[in-house]
Amino acid sequence: MLQSFYPDCYMSSAYDIDFEKYYENGYRGIIFDIDNTLVCHGAPADERSIALIFGLKEMGYKIMLLSNNKEPRVKMFNDAVQVSYIYKAGKPGRAGYLKAMEIMHTDKENTLFVGDQLFTDVWGAKRTGIYSILTKPIDPKEEIQIVLKRYLEKIVLFFYKKRCKREGK
């Protein structure tokens, strides 16, 4: 049961991911969550996120932002990075992920998902069959509904890390 929430990879930050390796392995699209994955919750794109996105586009990736936020928040971030986006995505529902791949002209075999929440980001990606990378949240200050989910995430991550250790990952 808990395995349905396990990410395929767990990284400390989106900025630590070896995207070149994934590109060499055939991945061509990346779907990103924004808040607490690329920037602090509600923050505009900063130099680091802009450099990451533009570097990935130069590498050949198609990029999509997938957020449960309303359009003004997502558009504010996107104005600086100029990629495609879907707002009010309904994560963990599959529809947003499927629409993202359709827009990018990618499929579940060559698309990565990067996000900071297990029960929306990772679970939705896994339900869609997309390789999921969980990152630690950038900022510990979060909305109350997310803080409550983080307690449950800790339980899932405890068993995930135990399994990884057992399997030598």
Query: What pTM was computed for the model?
Result: 0.91
The token pair at 115 is: 């996000």
Distances in Å between the alpha carbon of 56 and those of 27, 45, 87, 110, 144?
A: 11, 15, 21, 15, 33
pLDDT along the chain (169 residues), means of 10: 87 97 98 96 95 98 97 96 97 97 98 95 96 91 70 84 83
What structural domains and CATH numbers belong to the chain? 2-167 (3.40.50.1000)
CA 43 – CA 166 distance, rounded (Å): 38
